Amino acid sequence: MTGPNLVQQVDVLRQSVEAYLDSSRELEPTPSFAYSVGWFENYESLFQGEASTTTGIEAISDLAISTGRVLISGKGGGAKTVVIRRLMRQCLKEKTVPAVLDLKKWTSLQYQEWKTLVGSVVRMDYLLANLGPKQFSVMQLDSLPLNIKRLIFVDGLNEVTQGFGQEIIETIDEYAQLAVLTGIVVADRMARRTFIDEKRWRIASIAPLTADEIRQQLTHKFGDTALFDAADADTRALLSSPYFLNSLLRDGTPTAHTSSGTIHNYFVQHVSLSEPEIDVAGGAAYFAYKSFRSRSFPIDDFRKAVGNKVTNKLIDAKALLIAGTLASFDHHLKHDFLASRHAVKVGDWSPEVLGVLTFDASSFDALFMSLQQMTSSDDADDLIKNIYNWNPYGAAYALTDGGSQGRTLVSSEMQIVIITMLAERQWDLMKATQTKAKDALRLFPKTEVQRFLHASRLEELFPIVNSVSIKQRWFHEWKRLFTQKGKVAARDADVKQILNEDSLLGWTAANVLKRLPVPERSQVLLRKLIRKQDKTVRWRIVHVLGSFPTKKNLSLLFDRLDRDGYHWVRYGATRSLVEMAALGSDQIRQQIFAGIAKRAKALSRDEKSLREFGSAILIEQKRAPKNWVARLAPVIETFYNVESSFEKREQWRQMAFRLKGEYESRI
Amino acid sequence: MLDGKLGSTKVGVLTITDEEFTAAKRIFKLRFNFPLSPYFANKKLAAGPYDIVVRQASDRTNTPAMRATNAFIEDFRPAFIFLVGTAGGVLKKQKKGRDGTVLGDVIAADFIDYTEFVKLHGRQSLLRKIPHDHPSLYIRENIAGPSRDSTDWHAWIGVKRPGRDLGRPRVIIGNVAAGEKILSSPSSSYQKDVVTKFDKALAFETESFGVAHQVFCARKSVHYNPQFFVVRGLSDFVNSREAETARKNWTPYAASAALAFARLIIEKLVADSSI
């Protein structure tokens, strides 16, 4: 079919994309930079920075069409959006229709609507209708003539919360399988996603700008390269980020040693905000994240909070872009900086605040910028502890992302502690935890983590920890606590460390107790404490008890799963129940799985706990009991039966098959 | 024809077990394996669509069949998808099954039932439905049906018929029922219930629902209208006490018979340049 209507349709679609691009030209650096793209075999090689080949950016479109799906993974400011826009413009010159899903436009309302949608076509239609030029729909893209290729660009998967990001990628993945002549390009932060079939994805990362390219751009703008030649390594590293080089060339922002310092310079020098004005804007930026869980927010609310003067300065400087009643910053790093500035000022690093800053652990730029703004080593260490307490992997990102490595006041002892505690997770019972820990470790420079990654068991970490030269006094106590393993029962004092307000010692105690014999009287104490203690301590206690499969612990875990108001405690209880089922007798195993089956309906409404159950049951094969699949089968069947939609049922069926495949030899 | 990620083919053939795939390689003369993939063709083409591409699913049952079909569609966009292999018949009397079938006969499916989706309600087991396609009317009416009496395909079987029976395989068109359990126990109450409930099914197996459902799910484009067909050779009677022994003895022959008849249909499809 290539009638005049279809030809017209193609033109309408292409024109709408052109208009979309032209309406936000300021997002594209002028003059444009020369980019190259590294291609990676898998996530492991991506995290280690080991590209198998390097190409120009045009290979992204070619590969997306020929293989179906390309993921561009990279840090904030790495030009993912710029490259996507350039590829879209290239499509317009060729016989390809580009479509874009700009996740920066995602709003809190859409979180609610999304939940009601079932099926990949319906969800894809929703994304097309809400996040790009309005003209697109699945049916329309499909009905285009067969001599027209379609390329769908998904910009900023990290702009939405982690759970929704995963659901969006599942939708796209399913759509890509069957969409005719269609390629998908997704831009995401440097974090592992789960795909239907990982082999179907090509993983790319935009390489930092080369020194030659930076020099060429500086010469073009300033007539020489003196600025680059005189810069220290930190500043040079920042200039290799397209965002910061562009900020210098276009806005005249002096590049500082850190990203937060440079963005601060931008607001002071380019936008002409005073320090108090930046604080006010910071507050409004934070509350926009908190209220809307989105990069877009109502301009009227923002104006009300910061006043006309500051709002107008931001709009005039093109830092704030307006689309109808909504506004967003031209780059999320600016919004992240302002939100982090507010968080630093308030000094509240509760899990709720960290969740707001990161879109529930989806985007960590605000965290490393917070860390960069700490003015003492103690404060920086405290922040890292709080981040670890909330999300261990977040601590790794905060320490390494955005050029933070070595440019914060975090003590070397604290860095070793974080690395060591992540390294211990390599031997976790659950495979997903092992993978995430290794991914996080690979974010650090190889020289710093190689020993940890090469260790084959926990005890091999002890000499590394013991060899650290110590300046911080607290490290002695942490080291004593962490390096315990063996048959000697946990001391009462160490059991009580689980109550420690210092999250690092509290979680270290919880992890250590899991590997020591804990006498029944101490377990009685832990079970009693759970009724009184704060939510984090409750989480630690359910974490510990998973290692001690007894009827009393089992009933306490079920009690928490049924009644605890804090979702992380229920999550921890779910995980510990699975652990207990793996470690305990067959009788305990049967009781646990029968108990979970009984709660299948309630669990299917507790998203976090349910997702953790699905992930936790995939334990390390060699540690799985022989009847693991046989005992799990009735639970899976119950979850299958309580779901009413075919799609959700299908997920459980796929899970059953996966379990069979992974543990079959042990049946 | 549409292009998939690896190329395009007019016909895609899916087999499940090793015996079936071995027979497929011989009968379709598959010599070329697409690099790093489960796909085979009789020779490598420099360009242009293949006539036939064959692959084996990673395992038995509907979920692997569903995945294999999905991958097949993404990689080659076959216009026609065939599931070919063995199945169990239902013994009626005097060594004959429903509709007079005997071991080695070939069932060409006209309808697929999924036996597993039930609601257990009190003592009742109530059937529930999941949408899926049914075997292509076009293939049945225009090719498989008219070819039923042909003996041209017998020579391609290439495997000795077990036992003393010198009979020749027949082609019967009828219902096929697919579940998740291999039925092989005459005393099992579950099996009795299923066999009774699906009283018109000539063959029971564990994959055709997966293929049928995935073909249904693949109908998302105005440009793609896949037709699928199921051909099953009877290797045993599920309600016979000798089911296990019969399956062991008859599988190579039944698989080869099914593939030989499938080849006859496929060659006619391929020869028709209007399709």
How far apart are the CA of A142 and the nearest CA of chain B, in angstroms? 6
Query: What contacts B10, CB < 8 A, 6 or more positions away?
Result: B1, B49, B50, B51, B52, B78, B79, B80, B269, B270, B275
Packed helices A351-358 and A332-346: angle between N→C axes, nearest 10 degrees:
170
CA atoms within 13 A on the CB side of A633: 10
Query: Which of A216-220, A231-235, A514-518, B165-169 is predicted least confidently?
Result: B165-169
Chain A residues touching residue B2 (CB < 8 angstroms): 146, 180-181
Asked if A178 reaches chain B (Cβ–Cβ under 8 Å), the answer is: yes
Domains recognised in chain B with CATH numbers:
9-271 (3.40.50.1580)
Asked if B225 reaches chain A (Cβ–Cβ under 8 Å), the answer is: no
pLDDT digits (tens, 9 = 90+) for A86-110: 999 999 999 899 999 999 888 888 8
Does B49 sit behind a cis peptide bond, omega within 30 degrees of 0 on the bond before it? no
**Mean pLDDT value across residues A369-394:** 93
Domain ranges of chain A: 4-206, 484-666
How far apart are the CA of A177 and the nearest CA of chain B, in angstroms? 6
Asked if B73 lies within 8 A of A142 by C-beta distance, the reply is no
> What architecture is domain A4-206?
3-Layer(aba) Sandwich (3.40)
Asked if B2 reaches chain A (Cβ–Cβ under 8 Å), the answer is: yes
Hey, how many other C-beta atoms are within 10 angstroms of the C-beta on B123? 5
Residue of B nearest to A652 (CA): B63
Q: pTM of the predicted model, to two decimals?
A: 0.88
**Mean pLDDT value across residues B220-244:** 95
**Mean pLDDT value across residues B7-31:** 97
- Which amino acid appears at position A634 of this protein? P
Closest partner CB to B221 (pick from A66, A142, A657): A142
> What architecture is domain A484-666?
Alpha Horseshoe (1.25)
Q: Is the pLDDT of residue A361 over 90?
A: no
Torsion of CA B242, B179, A200, B11, to 10 degrees: 70
Q: Is the pLDDT of residue A666 over 50?
A: no
pLDDT tier for residue A665 given thresholds of 50, 70 and 90: low
Hey, how many other C-beta atoms are within 10 angstroms of the C-beta on B83? 33
pLDDT of residue B16: 97
Residues 370-409 of A with CB under 8 A from B: none
pLDDT of residue A667: 38
Asked if A657 lies within 8 A of B63 by C-beta distance, the reply is yes
| Between residues B39 and A1, the one the model is more confident about | B39
Asked if A146 lies within 8 A of B59 by C-beta distance, the reply is no
Mean pLDDT of the residues in chain A: 92
Q: Are strands B227-237 and B80-89 parallel, antiparallel or unpaired?
A: parallel
Interface test with A, best of B3, B59, B60, B63 (most A CBs within 10 A): B63
Query: What contacts B217, CB < 8 A, 6 or more positions away?
Result: A178, B70
Interface test with B, best of A118, A124, A150, A177 (most B CBs within 10 A): A177
**Mean pLDDT value across residues A180-200:** 92
How far apart are the CA of A624 and the nearest CA of chain B, in angstroms? 22
Asked if B73 lies within 8 A of A68 by C-beta distance, the reply is no
Residue of A nearest to B224 (CA): A180
Determine the Cα–Cα distance for residues A624 and A429; give it in Å rounded to an integer: 9
β-partners of residue A241 are: none
Query: What contacts B272, CB < 8 A, 6 or more positions away?
Result: none
Interface test with B, best of A118, A124, A138, A178 (most B CBs within 10 A): A178
pLDDT digits (tens, 9 = 90+) for A314-359: 999 999 999 899 999 999 999 999 999 999 999 999 999 999 999 9
Residues 46-85 of A with CB under 8 A from B: 66-68
Asked if B256 reaches chain A (Cβ–Cβ under 8 Å), the answer is: no
Contacts across the A-B interface (CB distance below 8 Å) = 44
Which tokens in the block code for residue B46? 């420099």
Instruction: Give the ipTM.
Output: 0.88
Asked if A654 reaches chain B (Cβ–Cβ under 8 Å), the answer is: yes
Residue of A nearest to B76 (CA): A178
Q: Are strands A326-329 and A297-298 parallel, antiparallel or unpaired?
A: antiparallel
Residue of A nearest to B7 (CA): A66
Phi and psi at A347, nearest 5°, equal 75, 20
pLDDT digits (tens, 9 = 90+) for A407-463: 788 999 999 999 999 999 999 999 999 999 999 999 898 888 999 999 999 999 999
Q: Which of A359, A439, A432 is nearest to A397 (CA)?
A: A439
Asked if B129 reaches chain A (Cβ–Cβ under 8 Å), the answer is: no
pLDDT tier for residue B93 given thresholds of 50, 70 and 90: confident
Phi and psi at B89, nearest 5°, equal -90, -175
Q: How far is CA B132 from CA B197, B215, B223, in A?
A: 19, 7, 19
What share of chain A has pLDDT > 70, as a percent? 98
Asked if B222 lies within 8 A of A653 by C-beta distance, the reply is no
Determine the Cα–Cα distance for residues A183 and A177; give it in Å rounded to an integer: 10
pLDDT digits (tens, 9 = 90+) for A543-554: 999 999 999 999
Chain A residues touching residue B71 (CB < 8 angstroms): 197
**Mean pLDDT value across residues A629-653:** 87
DSSP H or E stretch at residue A223: none
**Mean pLDDT value across residues A181-198:** 92
Hey, how many other C-beta atoms are within 10 angstroms of the C-beta on B214? 25
| Between residues A7 and B168, the one the model is more confident about | B168
Interface test with A, best of B37, B126, B220 (most A CBs within 10 A): B220
Residue of B nearest to A64 (CA): B5
Determine the Cα–Cα distance for residues B57 and B60; give it in Å rounded to an integer: 7
pLDDT digits (tens, 9 = 90+) for A72-81: 999 889 999 9
Determine the Cα–Cα distance for residues A52 and A67; give it in Å rounded to an integer: 17
Q: Is the pLDDT of residue A50 over 50?
A: yes
Phi-psi category of residue A423: left, alpha or beta, with phi > 0 → left and psi -120 to 50 → alpha = alpha
How far apart are the CA of B66 and the nearest CA of chain A, in angstroms? 10
Asked if A177 lies within 8 A of B222 by C-beta distance, the reply is no
Residue of A nearest to B221 (CA): A142
Tell me which DSSP letter residue B112 carries.
E
- Strand positions, DSSP E, chain B: 9-15, 32-33, 40-41, 50-56, 80-89, 91-93, 96-97, 106-114, 118-121, 124-127, 171-178, 201-205, 227-237
Query: What contacts A463, CB < 8 A, 6 or more positions away?
Result: none
Determine the Cα–Cα distance for residues A414 and A418; give it in Å rounded to an integer: 6
How far apart are the CA of B69 and the nearest CA of chain A, in angstroms? 11
Query: Are A87 and A61 in contact, with CB atoms under 8 Å apart?
Result: yes
**What are the helix and strand counts (H, E) for chain B?**
6, 13
**Mean pLDDT value across residues B141-147:** 97
Interface test with A, best of B221, B222, B224 (most A CBs within 10 A): B221
Asked if A181 reaches chain B (Cβ–Cβ under 8 Å), the answer is: yes
Interface test with A, best of B223, B224, B225 (most A CBs within 10 A): B223
Determine the Cα–Cα distance for residues A72 and A35; give it in Å rounded to an integer: 13
Determine the Cα–Cα distance for residues B5 and A452; give it in Å rounded to an integer: 40
Asked if A636 reaches chain B (Cβ–Cβ under 8 Å), the answer is: no
**Mean pLDDT value across residues A103-127:** 89
Closest partner CB to A653 (pick from B63, B220, B222): B63
Asked if B271 reaches chain A (Cβ–Cβ under 8 Å), the answer is: no
- Which 3 state secondary structure label does DSSP give A487? coil
Phi-psi category of residue A403: left, alpha or beta, with phi > 0 → left and psi -120 to 50 → alpha = left
- Which 3 state secondary structure label does DSSP give A515? helix
How far apart are the CA of A531 and the nearest CA of chain B, in angstroms? 40
Query: Are B88 and B163 in contact, with CB atoms under 8 Å apart?
Result: no
**Mean pLDDT value across residues A173-189:** 94
Hey, how many other C-beta atoms are within 10 angstroms of the C-beta on A629? 20
Chain A residues touching residue B218 (CB < 8 angstroms): 178
Q: Is the pLDDT of residue A402 over 80?
A: no
Query: Which of A140-149, B115-124, B144-153, B236-245 is predicted least confidently?
Result: B115-124
Closest partner CB to A180 (pick from B61, B70, B223): B223
Which tokens in the block code for residue A502? 């210092």
Asked if A180 lies within 8 A of B70 by C-beta distance, the reply is no
Radius of gyration of chain A (CA): 26
Residue of B nearest to A653 (CA): B63
How far apart are the CA of A644 and the nearest CA of chain B, in angstroms? 12
What share of chain A has pLDDT > 90, as a percent? 75
Determine the Cα–Cα distance for residues A623 and A583; give it in Å rounded to an integer: 9
pLDDT tier for residue A4 given thresholds of 50, 70 and 90: low
pLDDT digits (tens, 9 = 90+) for A276-300: 999 999 999 999 999 998 999 999 9
Asked if B222 lies within 8 A of A68 by C-beta distance, the reply is no
pLDDT of residue A266: 97
Determine the Cα–Cα distance for residues B202 and B249; give it in Å rounded to an integer: 20
Query: Are A541 and A548 in contact, with CB atoms under 8 Å apart?
Result: no
